[in-house]
Amino acid sequence: MSLDVVALRAFYASPLGEIAQRYVSRALAGFLAPPAGARVMGLGYATPYLEAARFTAERVIAFMPARQGVVAWPEDARVCSSLADSLMLPLPDACLDRVLIAHALETSEDPAELFYETWRVLAPGGRLAVVVPNRSGLWARMDTTPFGHGQPYSRGQLKALMRRTLFTPETWTETLYVPPVPKRATLSAAGALERIGTRLSLPFAGVHVVEAVKQLHRPLMVRQTRRGARFVPVLVPSPSANGA
């Protein structure tokens, strides 16, 4: 079950949401500083993390699924956000350099097709970053935040899905070791908990942040494509000439 955009925006405006944005953005720091002229897309609800890319990328766009809803982004410039079908993006092949998926994979009705569609719009050598709840983390076990909704992933599950959909994982980071409890004492200890969890590589981080590269040579495979079945014509019977 996916949250609507009102709930997502309210979470990131809260103190706990600000902490989540801070540490996830830190894990994405290299990815969100693309070379000049890069074309970047966010899919799902990625706008809290896309601000940094606006200063170096040639173009940054944000697509949000229709069942989630959309907000105008950015607020201080021409709107670059829009509703879209995440399994059938309104973009040509190989037109993007980087794609960030956040609050989309765990609620997707077809995760493999989501990655195949991302592969299609990425240029050769393009990079993908995914922010997804950790199956063994506290954030996935509590539905008081957006990371507690949908299907969380273990490291092995996410790695297998990426390799099956023609992505090679290269950088793996776990973050959000602070419990998802909006209490002052918990929030004030977030920095210390994050340092300890990262240093000891503890297994209960809230989210995985994975960077992967698109495989350049796509092997020949047979798979059922959902988008091909979406527009099957329906034959409506019409009366014959003799009125039968």
Q: Is residue 235 part of a domain?
A: no
| Chain Cα centroid distance, residue 161 | 14
Is pTM beyond 0.85? Reply is yes
Check pLDDT > 90 for residue 31: yes
3-state DSSP assignment of residue 120: helix
Provide DSSP, 61-94.
Answer: EEEEETTT------TTSS--EEEE-TTS-SS-TT
Q: Is residue 239 part of a domain?
A: no
CB-based contacts of 209: which residues, under 8 Å, 6+ apart? 24, 27, 28, 129, 130, 131, 172, 173, 174, 175
Q: Is residue 117 part of a domain?
A: yes
Residues 180 and 139: beta-carbon distance below 8 Å:
yes
Q: How many structural domains does the chain have?
A: 1
Q: Is residue 242 part of a domain?
A: no
CA 146 – CA 97 distance, rounded (Å) = 27
Q: Is residue 237 part of a domain?
A: no
Residues 77 and 47: beta-carbon distance below 8 Å:
no
Q: Is residue 240 part of a domain?
A: no
Strand pairing category for 167-175 and 81-84: unpaired
Q: E strands, 103-242, where?
A: 122-133, 167-175, 207-214
Phi/psi at 19 (5° precision): -65, -45
Q: Is residue 243 part of a domain?
A: no
Per residue in 3-28, pLDDT (tens digit) is: 899 999 999 999 999 999 999 999 99
The DSSP call for residue 51 is: G
Q: Is residue 12 part of a domain?
A: yes
How many other β-carbons are positioned within 10 Å of the β-carbon of residue 45? 30
Percent of the chain topping pLDDT 90: 76
Local confidence band at 237 (pLDDT 50, 70, 90 cut-offs): low
Paired strand residues for 210? 130, 172
User: The domain that contains 208 carries what CATH number?
Assistant: 3.40.50.150
3-state DSSP assignment of residue 222: coil
Supply the pLDDT for residue 238. Answer: 52
What residue type is assigned to position 232 of the chain?
V
112 lies in which domain range?
Answer: 5-229
How many other β-carbons are positioned within 10 Å of the β-carbon of residue 73? 22
| Radius of gyration, CA atoms only, the chain | 20
Per residue in 162-219, pLDDT (tens digit) is: 999 999 999 999 999 999 998 999 899 999 999 999 999 888 999 999 999 999 865 5
Rounded to an integer, the average pLDDT of 57-71 is 94
